[in-house]
Amino acid sequence: MKSYNLYIHVPFCLSKCNYCAFFSRACKKPDWQNYEHNIITELKYWAEKLGKIFISTVFFGGGTPSLMPSQPFENIIKTIKSCFNLDPDCEITLEANPGTLDKQKLKDFYNAGVNRLSIGIQSLNDEKLKFLGRVHNAEQALFLLNSAQKLGLRVSADFIYGLPNETACDVIKICKDINSLGLSHCSMYELTIEQGTPFGKANLQMPSNDEMAEMYKAISETLDLPRYEVSNYAKPGEECKHNQNVWDGESYIGIGNGAAGRILINDVWYEQMGNQQKFEKISNETRALERLITGMRQVRGIKLDSDIKKIINFDFINKSPTLLKINSENRLATTEKGMLILDDLLLNLTR
């Protein structure tokens, strides 16, 4: 059965972090009633357009989705359940920031259907959290993590490495601390400096590319969890299903201001943004290229289906056995060495 994935964007944050270029804005008192109304309107629009489609994952991303009070959240989930055919094992992820959820609210979200929590911890060091412009401290992060684990949620945590003056030794220490948290999934993001952010204007002395590469290597050598995507690590079976589906090239619908999607209808791909902002056909070739770029970020690579075969350069693959491989599941993947130069590889991989 063809399955779809829902991404629901929540664009509000308590304040903007110093490195953040995501579509979100600082807002102490968002108009949640209006937000709920808009999201429900969009959900109904897609139900009307696509029918009672099968939904295998729902991901509330942001922004800070955990800022949402439980009532609008419950109403949104109820609408999803009534409009669509939800997989009984549907993965429902909520991105959460420490300090925005107490035990009761966490329980309310859990009772409403959330079964996976992705926590933006970023660092276990209060000085570094302050530098990054985060509004929480390490104690609040550990409190949320422990509460979620006790409740039986699948828990992931995000961390940032590669801060100015950080070395591979620091990253090894960070990974050892992460190992003690009992996580089954975590994301390790290299700090990147984006234009227009406070860090973009600060002229920071960042680690060199070689130093960043050493840190990246130190992560896979120290973390207890194996890497399954460029920045993601999980126990086998605990990977984020939503992201895997999107990276593999399944249809996903972006709900909420600024959220984008790719939807296959009657064998034609559409690029979508909101229910009014954009809905345009894209060619199979363009879509295959997008799928190649996201799919190759995975350790398992991308399935070699007919559309992917049409755009890739088999000569280059055959000439690069230390960088690329075709595995037993007929997926094209990088070797460990290839993963380090993925961007260069992608340039040569297409015809």
Q: How far is the CB of 323 from ligand SF4 (least distance, A)?
A: 33
What does the per-residue mask of binding to ligand SF4 show for 22-41, with x meaning CB under 6 A?
A: x-x-----------------
Interface with ligand SF4, residue 96, by CB under 6 A: no
Q: How far is the CB of 56 from ligand SF4 (least distance, A)?
A: 25
Q: How far is the CB of 166 from ligand SF4 (least distance, A)?
A: 18
Separation CA 238–CA 137 (nearest Å): 27
Q: Which stretch binds ligand SF4 (CB under 6 A): 19-27, 138-146, 187-195, 286-294?
A: 19-27
Q: Which stretch binds ligand SF4 (CB under 6 A): 13-21, 141-149, 177-185, 328-336?
A: 13-21
Separation CA 154–CA 145 (nearest Å): 10
Q: Which stretch binds ligand SF4 (CB under 6 A): 60-68, 180-188, 298-306, 323-331?
A: 60-68
Interface with ligand SF4, residue 98, by CB under 6 A: no
Choose, by CB under 6 A, the member of 5, 56, 57, 64 that binds ligand SF4.
64
Q: Which stretch binds ligand SF4 (CB under 6 A): 11-19, 231-239, 267-275, 338-346?
A: 11-19
Q: How far is the CB of 24 from ligand SF4 (least distance, A)?
A: 4
**Could you tell me which residues are beta bridge partners of residue 185?**
156, 234
Comparing CB distances to ligand SF4, the nearer of 13 and 175 is 13
Q: Which stretch binds ligand SF4 (CB under 6 A): 18-26, 268-276, 285-293, 316-324?
A: 18-26
Interface with ligand SF4, residue 189, by CB under 6 A: no
Tokens found for residue 96: 């959460």
Comparing CB distances to ligand SF4, the nearer of 22 and 45 is 22
Choose, by CB under 6 A, the member of 56, 66, 79, 97 that binds ligand SF4.
97
Choose, by CB under 6 A, the member of 63, 65, 249, 301 that binds ligand SF4.
63
Q: How far is the CB of 120 from ligand SF4 (least distance, A)?
A: 6
Q: Which stretch binds ligand SF4 (CB under 6 A): 17-25, 74-82, 111-119, 176-184?
A: 17-25
Separation CA 236–CA 185 (nearest Å): 9
Phi, psi of 295 (to 5 degrees): -65, -35
Interface with ligand SF4, residue 217, by CB under 6 A: no
Interface with ligand SF4, residue 13, by CB under 6 A: yes
Interface with ligand SF4, residue 17, by CB under 6 A: yes
Contact 70, 31 (CB under 8 A): no
User: What is the contact surface with ligand SF4 in residues (CB under 6 A)?
Assistant: 13, 16-17, 20, 22, 24, 62-64, 97, 120
